[in-house]
Amino acid sequence: QNSLLSATGTTIFTVMSALAVQHGAINLGQGFPDYDGPEDVIDAAAAALRDGRNQYPPLTGVPELRQAVAAHNRRFYGLEADPNAEVIVTSGATEAITACLMAVLNPGDECVLIEPLYDTYLPVVKLLGAIPRLVRLSPPDWALPRADLAAAFGPKTKAILFNTPMNPTGKVFTGAELAFLADLIAKHDCYAICDEVYEHLTFDGWTHIPLMTLPGMRERCMRIGSAGKTFSLTGWKVGYITCDRSLAPNVAKAHQNLTFTTPPNLQRGVAVGLMKDDAYFAGLSTSLQARRDRLAKGLAEIGFGVLETRGSYFITTDFRPLMAPLGFNGDDVAFCRAITEEAKVTAIPVTAFYASQDAPGHYARFAFCKGEAVLDEALARLRAWV
């Protein structure tokens, strides 16, 4: 009971998924596809399972996957990294985030975080005894508030942890925003932990730019990817970190003490995935964009305010236009509970992504990484309910 984690509640994703099961609701809350990833990736993992690849792999990952991560960095971003000294495979991006924070933060160091933020960030920063400095983005455009960001950096700043393309906002950081960030990071001589799990899920011509590719950022960034998102295999929990050789030993030691290794058979599957042709990666975003459009159009027709989504699995909606017609005047938690229990469709209350009390309380996040029939059925249920 009496631990630093006592103040951390059960993650909203687990809470809402359990509620969805309890009420027989379509789960557009927790972000996971209801379709499988590429067959050749799954076949490669299955073959490795049958091929005796079932004992501890090397600590930093199987060589095939580290080489594939390096090749992927070069192909998509022109980023050179030594697969033997600058790539570390982890058990999901979740572990990668913790390992990177552990690698650089000491108690009392400050870590800049951007709200809304993914729910593991803050508890881990606090657990390490570091001090979070929160900078808030505001809807509907979620632009970077440059003065606030500059003010959050100071002599004690050791790192910034941020996410682009961003959950839950669908924001994709622009080149100009990243350049502004890079300037602050260099000026304050600190590190960036870059959660880029949605790197291949961008829409409408928006492209992901890793901060690590900006001038002066090669040695300061820890770039995180996830097979869960890139191959629609969220249960696999295979993540990968690319960082400079000066940082990698500390990151590897964190990984050593967290999980030590990651299932070798799954790693072999992911290695095949990262070597897939460009058409695969383009097709992934095209197919998700169509799902986004289908859900966004339907939600707008029902009367939700639909915010623009440039990347990720998620649409953020403003449900205020529905409040008067429905006679509803609760907050986002009550709204997500009501649609789960009554309309039988689950969404995530966006206040779950804020640390402070005065978060905007009228947004609900819907995941669109689902089959068309499921999206249509969810829309039909919501339409019947309003």
Binding partner at 195 among ligand PMP, ligand GLN, none, C-beta below 5 to 8 Å by kind: ligand PMP
Smallest gap from Cβ 229 to ligand GLN, in A, equals: 8
Q: Which of residues 349-368 bind ligand PMP (CB under 6 A)?
A: none
Name the residue number minimizing CB distance to ligand PMP. Answer: 92
Can residue 11 be called a binding residue for ligand GLN (CB under 6 A)?
Answer: yes
Alpha carbon 210 to chain centroid, angstroms = 14
Write down the least CB distance from residue 35 to ligand PMP, Å. Answer: 16
Can you read off the two tokens belonging to residue 211?
Answer: 């901060």
Q: Is 31 in the site for ligand GLN (CB under 6 A)?
A: yes
Residue 163 near ligand PMP by CB under 6 A = yes
Using rule CB under 6 A, residue 167 touches ligand PMP: yes
The smaller minimum CB distance to ligand GLN, of residues 29 and 269, is found at 29
Residue number, 30 or 346, with CB nearest to ligand GLN = 30
AA letter at 192: A
Q: Give least dist CB 178 to ligand GLN, A.
A: 22
Cα-to-chain-centroid distance, residue 34: 18
Q: Is 13 in the site for ligand GLN (CB under 6 A)?
A: yes
* Encoded tokens for 257: 């003490």
Strand pairing partners for 193? 161, 222
- Which residues are 162's β-sheet partners? 194
Angle between helices 248-258 and 92-104 (to 10 degrees): 120
Decide: is 225 part of the binding site for ligand GLN (CB under 6 A): no
**Residue in 139, 162, 165 with CA at minimum distance from that of residue 316:** 139
β-strands 131-136, 110-115 pairing: parallel
**What letter does residue 340 receive in the DSSP assignment?**
I
Among 167, 232, 261, 267, binds ligand GLN (CB under 6 A): 167
Q: Is 94 in the site for ligand PMP (CB under 6 A)?
A: yes
Q: Which residues contact 47 (CB under 8 A, 6 or more apart)?
A: 268
For residue 181, what are its two tokens?
A: 């960030």
> For residue 300, what is the DSSP state?
H
Give yes or no for residue 91 binding ligand GLN (CB under 6 A).
no
Choose the contact partner of 30 out of ligand PMP, ligand GLN, none; CB within 5 to 8 A by kind: ligand GLN
Q: Identify which of residues 27 and 167 has a Cβ nearer to ligand PMP in the complex.
A: 167
Question: Which lies closer to ligand GLN via its Cβ, residue 30 or residue 316?
Answer: 30
CA distances to 243, 305, 382 from 323, in Å: 47, 12, 14
Question: Interface with ligand PMP includes 197 (CB under 6 A)?
Answer: yes
Q: Which of residues 229-258 bind ligand PMP (CB under 6 A)?
A: 234, 237, 239
- Nearer CB in complex with ligand GLN: 13/180: 13
The tokens describing 194, both together, are: 């870059």
Among positions 33, 228, 273, 311, the unique one binding ligand PMP when judged by CB under 6 A: 228
CB atoms within 10 A of CB 189: 10
Q: DSSP secondary-structure letter at 15?
A: H
Per DSSP, the residues of 109-132 read -EEEEEES--TTHHHHHHHTT-EE
Q: HSE of 112 in the Cβ direction (CA atoms, 13 Å)?
A: 26
For residue 209, state whether it binds ligand PMP (rule: CB under 6 A): no
Interface positions with ligand GLN (CB under 6 A): 11, 13, 30-31, 167
Q: Which residues bind ligand PMP (CB under 6 A)?
A: 31, 92-94, 118, 163, 167, 195, 197, 226, 228, 234, 237, 239
